Amino acid sequence: MAEKKMLIVPAELAQKIDDNRGDLSRGDFIEFLIDSQLKGDVKEAKPAVQYVTRDEIQHLEQDIKKLLKSFLDFFVNYGLEIGKPGGSKEDEFNEIASKLESLEKGIDKDEKGRATIKWK
């Protein structure tokens, strides 16, 4: 049988132990607290503020550029199908094509087909 010793603590601390130990005995509860502190088993609480990483911002920017490009593609195709009366279709097409090219210059694709951004 394990040797037992007495530990004298203030009454307030004994009350805190009793309030928080649940079904554990006082000795088991104190042993658990000491082990968790020494081993670091207690996970630290996450901070209330979470920050975005640089990679996440870059992926967001790439996705937004892809979305904008798809909108431009849609409106170009829609404009070519419907057409605008009284306007020069060739001038509009060249203007939209130049906008698309400027967007594509800012996007590179990696081996998985994901868009990447060139940093200047």
Q: Residue type for 113, please?
A: G
Distance between CA atoms of residues 32 and 67, nearest Å: 53
Q: What is the pLDDT of residues 14-65, one digit of tens each?
A: 899 888 888 888 888 888 888 888 886 445 655 667 788 899 999 999 999 9
116, 110 Cβ separation under 8 angstroms: yes
pTM, two decimal places: 0.33
Q: What is the pLDDT of residue 63?
A: 93
Task: List the chain domain ranges.
Answer: 9-42, 54-117
Q: What is the mean pLDDT of the chain?
A: 78
How far is the CA of 108 from the CAs of 12, 60, 62, 113, in angstroms? 65, 14, 9, 9
Q: What is the pLDDT of residue 41?
A: 47
Distance between CA atoms of residues 51 and 61, nearest Å: 16
CA atoms within 13 A on the CB side of 109: 7
- What tokens does 91 get? 């001038």
Q: What is the pLDDT of residue 89?
A: 67
Whole-number percent of the chain with pLDDT over 90? 12
How far is the CA of 20 from the CAs of 7, 32, 106, in angstroms? 18, 12, 58
Out of 5-14, 38-47, 71-80, 86-95, the most confident range is 5-14
DSSP string, 85-117: TTS-HHHHHHHHHHHHHHHHHTEEE-TTS-EEE
